[in-house]
Amino acid sequence: MRHKKEITKIGSHICTLHSEEKAEFFIIQPIDSNDEKELEKQITHIEESSSIPFIHVAIRINKWNEELTPWPAPPVFGKIPFGAGAYSTLLYITSQLIPTLNTRYALQSTKDNTLLGGYSLAGLFSLWAAYEPDNPFYGIVSASPSAWYIGWLDYAENHQPLINYAYLSLGDKEERTKTKIMATISKDILRQEQIFKDKGVNCKMEWNEGNHFQDNGVRIAKGFVWLMHQKNEGVSKCKYHFDHLTV
């Protein structure tokens, strides 16, 4: 692994940092305990798939059902309802996390080099953050997101996303569930893909083998690789065009 690993507390959250010299991107990812177990595999997959240097910041979410959702909803599993903490989480990223990263590393976070991604409810958070005014993200990864969340698709349809790129993915067996609200997920994510495309976002949708609980680290890693290469390929195309115009 070419990255240096560090675990530290930034504000109210424990963060796991994987950093390397001359990084070109900040990658920000809210995680839970399952994601944490996959982190090393995830970072390794990105390193093996891309030579682009990056800094990955994993934010340990304290209350998963509260901190990642934009409005309240009744519980789906167990007795814990969903809350409206997404606003506070995004505020933490913009007002505490990013300023700390800017003082720690030579790379300064801008709209051109900062990516957000997440899995499951963190994938829904990434979708929602893409619509927020003045969000600091160039693009988002939303892997196996909770796009079934009550009211989400209506919200997405009636608001303008404020990002350049979005990567969506889903397991091909995720809709096979006895939980009625989640059984629509394949249809829901395809609708989200179309919404992004209709509103001018460059969106990639990728299907993976398996259910919701398989290969989450690799699935989200593939999204971050795609986002980084979209930016770099765009720069290369512009340089190629300029060089040929000035010959």
Q: What are phi and psi of 77, to 5 degrees?
A: -115, 140
Measured CA to CA, the distance from residue 60 to residue 57 in angstroms comes to 10
Which pLDDT score is estimated for 244?
39
Measured CA to CA, the distance from residue 164 to residue 247 in angstroms comes to 31
Question: Distances from the Cα of 106 to the Cαs of 24, 26, 70, 100, in angstroms?
Answer: 10, 11, 33, 12
Distance, CA of 231 to chain centre: 16
Maximum distance among all Cα pairs of the chain, rounded to whole angstroms: 67
Which pLDDT score is estimated for 234?
54
CB 225 within 8 A of CB 50: yes
Which pLDDT score is estimated for 216?
87
Helical H runs in 70-120? Answer: 86-92, 98-104
Question: DSSP string of 168-228?
Answer: EEEETTTT--S-GGGTTHHHHHHHHHHHHHHTT-EEEEEEESS-TTS-HHHHHHHHHHHHH
Domains and CATH numbers, the chain: 4-245 (3.40.50.1820)
Q: Which residues contact 232 (CB under 8 A, 6 or more apart)?
A: 24, 52
Measured CA to CA, the distance from residue 140 to residue 36 in angstroms comes to 19
Beta-bridged to residue 119, according to DSSP, are 143
Give the residue ranges of the chain where pLDDT is below 70.
232, 234-247
Measured CA to CA, the distance from residue 195 to residue 84 in angstroms comes to 23
Query: How many residues does this entry show for the chain?
Result: 247
Measured CA to CA, the distance from residue 200 to residue 209 in angstroms comes to 28
Token digits of residue 82: 């969903």
